[in-house]
Amino acid sequence: MNRTIRIFLCWAVLMLLTVSTVFAGHLEDIAARGTIRIGTTGDYIPMSYRNPQTGAYEGIDAELSQLIADSLGVKIEYVPTSWPTLTADTLAGKFDIALCGISRNYARAKTMAMSDAYGEGAFGKTILCRKSDAKKYQSLADIDKPEVRVMINPGGTNEKFAHANLKKAKLIVHQENADIPRQVAEGNADIMITETVEAARYIELNDKLAAPLMKAPFTRHSCGILMQKGDQEFLNYIKYADFVLTDSYHAFLFSMIFHKNLNVLERFHNVENNSQNGRILDLMERLGITDKFSDEQGAINTDEIDYERAHQKMLAFREDSMRYLSRVLFFNKEKDSAEKR
């Protein structure tokens, strides 16, 4: 898998590094079944999208789902859900977890459990419009007019945002979220309320579309893995890890994102395999923590990392990774086939 995918996924999957013993309970049920049931809407590019040509689920959360399944030694059983029924399906136990770019918010936290945040700062409400109209829409005030047709999918935070902030615009509810960009491009609506990561991908797929407010979204939030409350041991499996001593690039990334103390060990010391160390050292240099790297003769450094300083450098690196991710990582299709969907 491309390194940049891993940079994005590291926001989500430190939970795979858990070293504590998992006791009997929900995880035992999953192991006995041999599958983990994952609820997904399958309509959210680039998070979790069911490719109509192949029937396979693609995207960041699809990759994360596979990592979680692999860590448990089981297979994935995808369970279709929808934004209007997501809460009811979760509470009814139709799946073990839901994972499809689900925003963390208080309404969900009241009745369900969510993992720690991932993608913090990368998600936010913004708009898609036709490229020819991009200069017309520079604020909510520009959008909230009677003549502006705003298309939204039902049941999720896009609909809630639209109803809370757009009192004059004409709101059109469209059942298929993945079809709304095409509706806008073809002139059946003027605006789509969407997420920054989704907007970034659609303007790459369709040159008729623009996201003029993508760099200044109306909101900022993060995503999480959704499950029933009371499933604390499974939630703990998702959330917690201890001190990390590793020679793994990805384990290093996960630990940094979640502010874990760590030490990285040299994997190879010969020239032929230098790249196995090089990408770790490259990032450690970017973050100013090369003192946490130990070669075969070096001592383990247990000093705490200055995460306030490293975090600022990491944010800049995340932004670069996100821009690259939205351009090239998912759904490598020709633009004309994308526009037909």
Give the lowest-confidence range in 41-50, 119-128, 259-268: 259-268
What is the C-alpha radius of gyration for the chain, rounded to an integer number of angstroms? 21
Check pLDDT > 50 for residue 119: yes
List, for residues 192-251, the tens digit of each pLDDT value: 999 998 999 899 999 999 999 998 999 988 888 898 887 555 555 445 656 677 776 766
pLDDT, average across residues 100-121: 82
List, for residues 3-20, the tens digit of each pLDDT value: 434 444 444 443 433 322
pLDDT at 325: 62
The conformation of residue 131, written as its DSSP 8-state character, comes to: G
Taking every pair of C-alpha atoms in the chain, what is the biggest distance, in angstroms?
71
**Amino acid in position 155:** G
- Give the model's confidence band at 121: pLDDT under 50 very low, under 70 low, under 90 confident, else very high: low
- 49 near 259, Cβ under 8 Å? no
pLDDT at 269: 53
229 CB-near residues (< 8 Å, 6+ apart) = 111, 112, 113
pLDDT at 296: 60
136 CB-near residues (< 8 Å, 6+ apart) = 129, 142
Domains, in order of start, for the chain: 21-121+222-239 (3.40.190.10), 125-218 (3.40.190.10), 244-318 (no CATH)
Residue 25 region by backbone torsions, left for phi larger than 0, else alpha for psi between -120 and 50, else beta = left
Q: What's the chain's average pLDDT? A: 80
Please tell me which residue, 157 or 323, carries the higher pLDDT value: 157
Q: Are strands 209-210 and 191-195 parallel, antiparallel or unpaired?
A: unpaired
pLDDT at 134: 96
pLDDT at 232: 58
Q: Which two tokens stand for residue 36?
A: 């983990």
List, for residues 135-191, the tens digit of each pLDDT value: 999 999 999 999 999 999 998 899 999 999 999 999 999 999 999 999 999 999 999
List, for residues 30-65, the tens digit of each pLDDT value: 888 999 999 999 998 888 999 999 999 998 888 888
SS (H, E, C) 292-319: HEECCCCCCCCCCCCHHHHHHHHHHHHH
Please tell me which residue, 118 or 329, carries the higher pLDDT value: 118
